[in-house]
Amino acid sequence: MKQKSVRKIIVGMSGGVDSSVAALLLQQEGYEVEGLFMKNWDEDDGTEYCTAMEDLSDAESVAEKLGIKLHTANFASEYWDNVFEYFLSEYSSGRTPNPDIICNREIKFRAFLDYAVELGADSIATGHYARIGSQSGKATLMTGLDTSKDQSYFLYMVGHKELEKSLFPLGSISKQEVRSIAKKASLRTHDKKDSTGICFIGERKFKDFLQTYLPANPGEIRSKDGRYLGMHEGLMYYTIGQRKGLGVGGLQKSEESPWYVAEKDLSKNTLIVVQNNKHPALYSSALRLQDCFWISGKTPKLPLVCNARIRYRQPNQTCEIIKLNNYFKVSFSDPQRAITPGQSVVFYKKEQCIGGGIIQGIDEKK
């Protein structure tokens, strides 16, 4: 439904089918629509691995088809300072970050929003599968109706003031419908494959990319009971729960079941692994957060019982959030597998995403 107070909208057009259809739907609703293509990576090797030039061409094709103006903006400096340096810092500290979440906060709903306002826009729009609601006069973040594509998990760091100036045209429709709309409108992007991963890594092996920026620091791989099993290439290359690429199979006096990363001992630079996907060391009942981000801008009354997800597309998990002396503790009704420092836990009340935080570690203290 068209918001009467909103006239000009600038859509973040990535060259994909989702943002293409977002622009089309808003145009059909009678808005004055323009597009903006963001360039966020400016390294010399970017063109070899990143599809930015192809994506720009697709965005231009869609803009021409719709008869709308397409702006371009280079946010590479902001991306480097606010997203990529964070990405490197987290990996160098042994954690596994999610740069998409920080990119949404710093680039799409800050740098892009500010730029769009300078261009005279009343609001921005993106192709995210999420919805915007309202509560007590503030904009709220709601899950997308297509549960298989709901992207609220990646948007929990976007505050109510930014949501107030944002639209998510795809929040109430499915991915299948989006492709059907694009095909009917003869948009070039209708059958374009969804992008996966991070642009600046592209088709390269993750390890090859990371070691160009961070020095490798090999160390020992040991079992939970302390047995030496081999050498790892650097803790930053592994994530909690990982199975592949450990190189510790076929050991004498060991059963044949696969090994999994259970822990990173940063003080000893040791990778601790266990056998069996259901090993107790892979499961924890609580985690700790240094800080929480609340979309409303206000901390809810704690303790708080709500739902949570510790990874994208995970079914909702019942939890309780409490505030201790200098951190938040999140306790789950059911033990969670592979709680990963650096990743995010995101909180929900029914269909409303209320906030979340970056996982610092597990917390089994009573």
Strand partners, 37: 72
Separation CA 132–CA 141 (nearest Å): 5
Tell me the two tokens of residue 276.
């069996």
pTM confidence score: 0.94
Give the CATH number of domain 8-191: 3.40.50.620
Examine domains 217-277 and 283-362 and report if their fold is the same.
no
**DSSP class per residue in 78-128:** HHIIIIIHHHHHHHHTT----HHHHHIIIIIIIIHHHHHHHTT-SEEE---
Q: Which CATH superfamily is domain 283-362 in?
A: Translation factors (2.40.30.10)
- Known catalytic residues? 103, 199
Tell me the two tokens of residue 75.
């946010």
Domain residue spans in the chain?
8-191, 217-277, 283-362
Give the CATH number of domain 217-277: 2.30.30.280
Per-residue pLDDT of the chain (366 residues; tens, 9 = 90+): 455 566 999 999 999 999 999 999 999 999 999 999 999 987 654 445 567 889 999 999 999 999 999 999 999 999 999 999 999 999 999 999 999 999 999 999 999 999 999 999 999 999 999 999 999 999 999 999 999 999 999 999 999 999 999 999 999 999 999 999 999 999 999 999 987 777 777 667 888 889 999 998 999 999 999 999 999 999 999 999 999 889 886 555 567 789 999 999 999 999 999 999 999 999 999 999 999 999 999 999 999 999 999 999 999 999 999 999 999 999 999 999 999 999 999 999 999 999 999 999 999 765
C-alpha distances in Å from residue 140, one per residue of 6, 14, 157, 344? 18, 25, 12, 19
